[in-house]
């Protein structure tokens, strides 16, 4: 009940400010004899304060799905201060002696601008939080408020319709803040280097009624990379090329994804996914390999150790989704499932990606070949993610297997307190495994392949 009310609090905050701005604007038009409108204005300001307090509690208590821990104090301040300051000022003006005064409407509309700027600040993913990231929403709010104040003092510029005033300024500000947030505030990822491609040996293997596509590149000890959501081995293209100088890197499209087939679209099990990994290894000419899995691929790797320990020389898991280790994960997955049922898979996918807080630079850096294939949102959200509800690592069997296990989290994911990072320290402790810090975020093998590959080499060599 306590988790996941951050987005609702943001929407309630914006809604309360819209109502307050509407009635403040109409109050100026109706004159002083509008007690009902005055009461609604004060109630809306109180609602804005309550929503801001709720958002702050979600932030400081680490209860939200979409909130970045780095933004806890600045986000709370940006939420709470406007309703507090504006609410006190408006209440004082309305209750001052000598009869009710009329507060300038731009005071209250400035609160609306601040709530829109705050929403953009909270929802758009950032890298390392900088002073400019906090300065941008403050600046946009102040400039919009000043522009509104100037326009309000010029009768020729006044908009007679409160709906037009609120709608035009609100939507215009939202567009401005969104553009600034994407273009300026979001920290750019490292420049993706030009990586010389290496020869790829592509093949297929039939396994349990489906055809699995896999690739091998390089020579040396076998290294199997298992992809997460979307299941496309092409996501690893850049680091596979970099690692091919030291390993025979094997990537594959998991059953039901990309170039592999899916003849049973409603079924998914980690046990079958583990058998698929063994089949791919066997087809590539190996009985065992070092295995690396990221996100959902990490869960496949853990299942592989449980069911086929002889096939795994060493396992590195990166940012595994662990509902059994963080109650927010389970609540978040239920929320995504509910969104899928109500609004479709595309909306649920967007919600899921926002929850992971992945910077825009990562999606722009997806290898072109994998990007052109896309992925089946309905299958990923409706079938693969549904399997996470029941997933829980079998700690006893993993530790009993004798397979060395390494756990890794992205430095950015850990600092932001993202869902995919919060359970990893406890999992590492349960497995008696080291917890390593890799560069960046959940998908940094795409936008920082050199840094990620270097960290992976060092981890596997240790």
280-321 pLDDT, tens digit each: 999 999 999 999 999 999 999 999 999 999 999 999 999 998
The predicted structure's pLDDT at residue 438 = 96
The model's pLDDT over 14-57, given as tens digits with 9 standing for 90+, comes to 899 889 888 888 776 665 557 788 888 889 999 999 988 888 88
- 8 Å CB contact between 426 and 439: no
Question: Bigger pLDDT: 106 or 436?
Answer: 436
Higher pLDDT, 1 or 88: 88
pLDDT mean over 202-220: 93
What confidence category does residue 454 fall into, taking pLDDT thresholds of 50, 70 and 90?
A: very high
Q: In sequence order, what DSSP letters do the residues of 36-105 get, joined into one string?
A: HHHHHHHHHHHHHHHHHHHHHHHHHTT--SS--GGGHHHHHHHHHHHHHHHHHHHHHHHH-SSS-----H
Domain boundaries, the chain: 6-185, 201-461
pLDDT at 299: 94
Question: What single string gives the DSSP state of each residue in 220-254?
Answer: SSEEEEE--TT--GGGGHHHHHHHTTTSEEEEEPP
User: What's the pTM?
Assistant: 0.77
How many helices, marked H, and strands, marked E, lie in the chain?
Answer: 21, 8
Which of 341-345, 381-385, 386-390 bottoms out in mean pLDDT, i.e. has the lowest? 386-390
The mean predicted confidence, pLDDT, of the chain is 82
**pLDDT tens for each residue of 252-280:** 999 988 899 877 656 788 999 999 999 99
Q: Write the DSSP symbol of residue 160.
A: S
Confidence label for 410 from pLDDT (cuts 50, 70 and 90) = very high
Q: What percent of the chain has pLDDT over 90?
A: 34
Give mean pLDDT, residues 67-81. 81
Tell me which architecture the domain covering 201-461 has in CATH.
3-Layer(aba) Sandwich (3.40)
| Residue-level pLDDT at 211 | 94
Average pLDDT over residues 342-356: 82
Residue 73: its pLDDT value, please?
Answer: 82
| Res 216: pLDDT | 97
Question: Mapping DSSP to helix (H, G, I), strand (E, B) and coil, where does residue 150 land?
Answer: helix
Measured CA to CA, the distance from residue 225 to residue 292 in angstroms comes to 5
Distance CA 307, CA 274 (A): 7
Assess contact for 221 and 292: CB atoms under 8 A. Answer: no
pLDDT at 191 over 70: no
CA 459 to chain CA centroid, Å, is 26
Average pLDDT value for residue range 327-338? 81
What is the per-residue pLDDT for 439? 92
- Write the CA distances from 41 to 117, 118, 141, 344, integer angstroms: 21, 21, 21, 37
Max mean pLDDT among 81-90, 148-157, 394-403 falls in 394-403
What is the DSSP secondary structure assignment for residue 268, as one 8-state letter?
Answer: -
Residue 114 has pLDDT above 90, yes or no: no
Q: Is 429 in contact with 346 (CB distance < 8 Å)?
A: no
Q: How do 210-217 and 248-252 pair as beta strands?
A: antiparallel
Q: Are 80 and 52 in contact (CB under 8 A)?
A: yes
If you average pLDDT over each of 38-52, 84-98, 378-392, which comes out highest?
38-52
Instruction: Please report the pLDDT score of residue 314 as a whole number.
Output: 97
Round to whole Å and give the CA distance between 273 and 224. 13
pLDDT band at residue 89 using 50, 70 and 90 as cut-offs: confident
Higher pLDDT, 126 or 332: 332
What mean pLDDT do residues 406-424 have?
90
Spatial CB neighbours of 208, under 8 Å, sequence gap ≥ 6: 272, 275, 276
Query: Per-residue confidence at 176, pLDDT binned at 50, 70, 90?
Result: low
At 169 the pLDDT is 57
Torsion angle of alpha carbons 20, 24, 26, 31, nearest 10°?
150
pLDDT, position 434: 96
Q: What average pLDDT score do residues 337-351 get?
A: 83
182 pLDDT more than 60: no
Chain Cα centroid distance, residue 66: 6
């Amino acid at each position: 009940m306590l988790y996941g009310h951050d987005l609702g609090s943001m929407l309630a905050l914006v809604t309360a400010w819209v109502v307050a701005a509407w009635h403040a604007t109409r109050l100026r038009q109706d004159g002083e004899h509008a007690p009902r409108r005055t009461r609604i204005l004060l109630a809306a300001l109180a609602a804005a304060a309550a929503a801001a307090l709720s958002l702050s509690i979600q932030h400081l208590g680490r209860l939200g799905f979409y909130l970045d821990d780095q933004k806890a104090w600045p986000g709370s301040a940006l939420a709470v201060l406007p309703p507090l300051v504006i609410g006190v000022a408006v209440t004082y003006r309305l209750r001052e002696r000598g009869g009710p005064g009329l507060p300038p409407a731009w005071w209250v509309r400035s609160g609306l601008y601040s709530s829109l700027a705050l929403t953009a600040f909270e929802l758009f993913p950032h890298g390392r939080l900088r002073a400019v990231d906090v300065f941008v929403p403050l600046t946009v709010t102040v400039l919009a408020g000043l522009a509104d104040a100037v326009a309000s003092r010029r009768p020729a510029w006044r908009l007679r319709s409160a709906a037009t005033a609120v709608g035009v300024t609100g939507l215009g500000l939202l567009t401005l803040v969104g553009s600034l947030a994407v273009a300026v505030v979001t920290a750019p990822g490292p420049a993706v280097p030009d990586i010389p491609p290496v020869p790829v040996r592509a093949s297929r293997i039939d396994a349990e009624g489906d055809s699995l596509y896999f690739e091998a590149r390089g020579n040396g000890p076998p290294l199997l990379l298992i992809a997460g959501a979307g299941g496309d081995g092409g996501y690893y293209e850049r680091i596979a090329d970099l690692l091919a100088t030291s390993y025979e890197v094997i990537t594959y499209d998991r059953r039901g994804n990309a170039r592999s087939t899916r003849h049973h679209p409603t079924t998914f099990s980690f046990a079958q996914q583990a058998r698929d990994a063994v089949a791919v290894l066997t087809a590539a000419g190996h009985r065992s390999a070092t295995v690396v899995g990221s996100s959902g691929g990490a869960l496949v790797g853990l299942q592989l150790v449980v069911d086929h320990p002889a096939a795994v020389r060493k396992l590195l898991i990166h940012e595994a989704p662990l509902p059994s280790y963080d109650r927010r994960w389970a609540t978040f997955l239920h929320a995504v499932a509910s969104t899928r049922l109500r609004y479709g898979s595309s909306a649920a996918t967007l919600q899921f990606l926002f929850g992971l807080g992945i910077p825009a630079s990562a999606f722009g850096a997806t290898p072109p070949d994998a990007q052109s294939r896309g992925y089946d949102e309905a299958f990923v959200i409706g079938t693969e993610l549904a399997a996470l509800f029941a997933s829980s690592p079998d700690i006893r069997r993993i530790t009993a297997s004798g397979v060395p296990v390494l756990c890794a989290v992205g430095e950015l994911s850990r600092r932001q307190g993202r869902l995919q990072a919060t359970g990893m320290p406890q999992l590492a402790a349960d497995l008696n495994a080291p917890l390593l810090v890799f560069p960046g975020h959940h998908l940094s093998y795409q936008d920082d392949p050199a840094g990620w590959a270097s960290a992976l080499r060092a981890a596997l060599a240790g």
